[in-house]
Structure 1
Amino acid sequence: MLRTTKLLRTPTAVYPWPALPLRRPLHSSPAPLAHHFFDSADYVHRFEQQGLTRQQAEGIVDALENIVQESVNNLESNLVSRTEHYKHHDRQKVDFAALKQNLELSERTDFMNLKAENERLLGDIERLKQKLREEISRTQAGVRLDLNLEKGRIRDEMSTREGKLTEVDTRIENEIGLLRASMEAVKFNILQYAFAVMSGTGALLLAYLRMFAN
């Protein structure tokens, strides 16, 4: 084996190796155990032309075939058979149908819940409107009662004030009447006093004139 490795490391002409397929199509039955991926006799002949013995060339070709076969087997072990692919596809279809059904059911459930919630909210709004109308009616009734009471109180107060004003007017008129009577009496007294003064002054003047006349 060491000898073979040394021979491989000697500079030789490079020959193109056949390209292996990266992926193989799906298969429905297990692959056979052995495959011929290249012409082994041709490669043995090429190695002999490079200076190797036939035994060495056949050993190298056998090793290459084993390596390629092992690589292909590892690659095929990771592939899925056609039957398993169809089963997986069918399971995916069933899962997708179940998911679609669940989504539709969830959508219908959400719609029904949303509809019920909307109806509940509408009912709450109607109850709030009714309660608001009742509160407004009670408030208006209370305001009307307060206004009527205030009007009655204002009327009573106005009546009381009008009575007081009438009493004050009557008192003022009485005072004015008394004042007028007092003024008339004073005027009469003044006239009497003036008449007495004028009479006395006239008498004195006549006496004075008589005295100068004699």
Structure 2
Amino acid sequence: MPARNGRWVLWATLLLTCISLPGNGRWKVLGQDPALFLTTTTKEGYDMRRVDITPLEQRKLTFDTHALVQDLETHGFNKAQAETIVSLLTTLSNVSLDTIYREMVTQAQQEITVQQLMAHLDSIRKDMVILEKSEFANLRAENEKMKIELEQVKQQPINETSRIRADNKLDINLERSRVTDMDQEKKLMEATTEFIKKDTKTNSVISETSNKIDSEIASLKTLMESNKLETIRYLAASVFTCLAIALGFYRLWKKQ
């Protein structure tokens, strides 16, 4: 009996040193080290509506307060002390129940929260689909732009190669034409030199031939002059002979 009475005294002393401070789901003990007691906090969910749960006045305690007061009176407490202890126990129980109700959810609140989460997920899913379509369109446009730029970049070396090839071909053709002109000029110079040599040789041959012709003409003139003199002499001799014969025949005729 004394041990039981001492246990109730210990409980009463502990309850008298406790002052519950309800609010935001917190409670603490005065006169003791706060680190030795549990401190709970409530957390609000994302986009969560507050759901009315069982009001404080409708909650039922799990023990009989009147029987507890009588039990305390039978163990040496007066009525005021017993009622104070029971009041503290009731307050502590209500605070504990309020903390439990704040930390836990009812089935209705759970269903509403699940519906809210599903609606939020549907909204996120729609936003993701819209974002995906927008991103896909942007990626497609960016891809097309990159393709065009890549084609332009690929076309630039081709154009540059074609231009360099055309320039090289033009240079080669010009060099070939220059070499051809030089070769033709060289051939022309060689032909001119050969022609000059042949012309010189021909002129020398012509000069020699002219000299020969001149000498032959001179010799022929000399021969003709000599033949002319001979012919004149022969004709003169023939004429004189004919005259002599004619004179002879004339004398003979006269004599007759």
**5 Å matches for 1:122-161?**
122-161=163-202
User: Shift of residue 85 of structure 1?
Assistant: 4.8
Taking the aligned partners of 1:165 and 1:200, their CA distance within structure 2 comes to: 50
Give the aligned partner of residue 182 of structure 1. 223
More displaced, 183-192 or 140-149?
Answer: 183-192
The code of the aligned residue for 2:174 comes to R
Taking the aligned partners of 1:87 and 1:130, their CA distance within structure 2 comes to: 62
Taking the aligned partners of 2:201 and 2:191, their CA distance within structure 1 comes to: 15
The code of the aligned residue for 1:95 comes to F
User: Shift of residue 100 of structure 1?
Assistant: 1.2
Question: Given the alignment, which residue of 171, 195, 206 partners 2:212?
Answer: 171
User: Shift of residue 82 of structure 1?
Assistant: 7.0
1:97 match: secondary structure: helix
Taking the aligned partners of 1:121 and 1:210, their CA distance within structure 2 comes to: 124
Taking the aligned partners of 1:191 and 1:114, their CA distance within structure 2 comes to: 108
Taking the aligned partners of 2:244 and 2:200, their CA distance within structure 1 comes to: 65
Structure number with greater CO (CA < 8 Å, separation at least 6) is: 1
User: Shift of residue 213 of structure 1?
Assistant: 4.1
User: Shift of residue 158 of structure 1?
Assistant: 1.4
Taking the aligned partners of 2:234 and 2:202, their CA distance within structure 1 comes to: 47
CA RMSD in angstroms comes to 2.2
Does 1:117 find its partner at 2:167? no
Larger Rg: 2
User: Shift of residue 206 of structure 1?
Assistant: 3.0
Taking the aligned partners of 1:197 and 1:90, their CA distance within structure 2 comes to: 150
Give the aligned partner of residue 104 of structure 1. 145
CA separation of 1:176/1:108 partners in 2, compared to 1, >3 Å: closer, same or farther?
same
Taking the aligned partners of 2:160 and 2:234, their CA distance within structure 1 comes to: 107
User: Shift of residue 151 of structure 1?
Assistant: 0.7
Does 1:198 find its partner at 2:222? no
Residues paired across the two proteins, number:
134
Q: TM-score, normalised by structure 2?
A: 0.47
User: Shift of residue 150 of structure 1?
Assistant: 0.7
**5 Å matches for 1:4-83?**
none
The code of the aligned residue for 2:208 comes to E
Structure 1 vs Structure 2: percent identity of aligned residues? 14
Where structure 1 has 5 or more consecutive residues not aligned to the other structure, the ranges are 1-80
